[in-house]
Amino acid sequence: MSNYELFKNYLENSKIHYGEGNLEHGSKYFRIPERLENDLVVDVLVIFSEHSVKVLIIGIATIEDEKKKLACYKLFNDFAAQYSFFKFYLREDGGVNAEGDATLSVVKGEFQPDVLMGFVSTGLDFVQDVHKYIIKIQQA
């Protein structure tokens, strides 16, 4: 059974709501909507490619003002220096996303869906912590 199918079974057994899709370059993904404690609603994409699993958290915020974008770049660089497991970035449209490489989901050569979900949960906690700083920039 593929890692994708193992994770799908994990989601279903855990009764986690999700959607599925395919990317143009052949990767498959799960889209998991999440509401954080601060009521921020984000989408988590768990993307399976041939050799990797990436976690992308989208819908964190939108920053359109150029000066505020510069402040966000500085903030994201500061966090990148402290935390290496998830990186924040701005898309061209001003959308704030976070991305992590989920290589931690493989233990002793075996894919571990629960470890991957733990990585997702850690990323969501990080997003919630950082979100308040992004909002300060957005509202400045």
Where do the domains of the chain lie, and which CATH numbers do they carry?
Answer: 3-139 (3.30.1460.70)
Please, which pLDDT band fits residue 4 given cuts at 50, 70 and 90?
Answer: very high
Residue 140: predicted pLDDT: 84
- 65/13 Cα distance (integer angstroms): 43
Phi first, then psi: give them for residue 112, nearest 5 degrees. -120, 100
CB under 8 Å, gap of 24 or more: what pairs does 116-121 form?
116/7, 116/46, 116/53, 116/55, 117/10, 117/14, 119/55, 119/85, 120/32, 120/44, 120/46, 120/55
What pLDDT, on a 0 to 100 scale, did the predictor assign at position 38?
86
Question: The tokens of 74 are what?
Answer: 């500085």
Per-residue pLDDT averaged across 74-81, rounded?
90
Do the Cβ atoms of 99 and 87 come closer than 8 Å? yes
Residue 41 phi/psi, 5-degree rounding, is: -105, 125
Distance of alpha carbon 109 from the chain centroid: 23
21-25, 38-42, 96-100, 101-105: which range is least confident on average? 101-105
Coil/strand/helix, residue 38: coil
List the end-to-end C-alpha distance of the chain, in Å, as a whole number: 50
Cα 124 to Cα 41: distance, rounded to the nearest angstrom = 11
Q: In degrees, to the nearest 5, what angle opens at C-alpha 98 toward C-alphas 100 and 95?
A: 150
The structure tokens 């969501």 sit at: 124
Across the range 39-55, mean pLDDT stands at 92
Query: In this predicted structure, what is the pLDDT of residue 104?
Result: 55
Dist. CA 4–CA 90, nearest whole Å = 28
pLDDT tier for residue 52 given thresholds of 50, 70 and 90? confident
Average pLDDT of the chain? 91
3-state secondary structure of 15: coil
Instruction: Report the pLDDT value the prediction gives residue 108, as an integer from 0 to 100.
Output: 64
Q: What is the pLDDT of residues 21-43, one digit of tens each?
A: 999 888 999 999 999 988 999 99
